[in-house]
Amino acid sequence: MKKYAPLLLLFLFIMVAWEAMVGPSGMSVNIDGDELHGPAAALVGMLFAGGGLLIAGIVMLFVGVVLALVFAGLGVLAVGGLALGAVVLAVMVSPLLLPLAIPLAIIWYVASRARKARAGHDAVKPS
């Protein structure tokens, strides 16, 4: 971009010089039936075009903020709904899993006791 900036400025300067030497262009703007000609028309046209772009930028900014808030709110609601669904599912399934949970708890207890006994035996053993 740094290479093209001087060339772009030179081109714009040449265009301004050409316009100054050759004379005013045939620019005309029609506002509610009134014709504006010459440099004033170019100025008014740029003013209205710039104003339209400014308004469009502000509108896009506000639309982005509203969409961010809406989607963030929907995301919070979706995560909350999934969490509530998981809790409801766990409450519904927990009585059905009780026959499976009792043998698993016994196996876990026996395995942890054996692991503690083995760790205690290894600690007493001299090196």
Q: What values do phi and psi take at 24, rounded to 5? A: -65, 150
Q: Does residue 59 register a pLDDT over 60?
A: yes
Is the pLDDT higher at 98 or at 111?
111
What is the structure's pLDDT at 110?
93
What is the structure's pLDDT at 26?
66
**Domain extents in the chain:** 17-117
Beta strands in 33-83 (DSSP E): 34-37
What is the structure's pLDDT at 76?
85
pLDDT above 70 as % of the chain: 86
Nearest CA among 48, 49, 25 for reference residue 37: 25
Question: Exposed, middle or buried by CB within 10 Å (0-12, 13-18, 19+), for 72?
Answer: exposed
Mean pLDDT of 8-33: 78
What is the structure's pLDDT at 32?
79
Q: Does residue 127 register a pLDDT over 60?
A: no
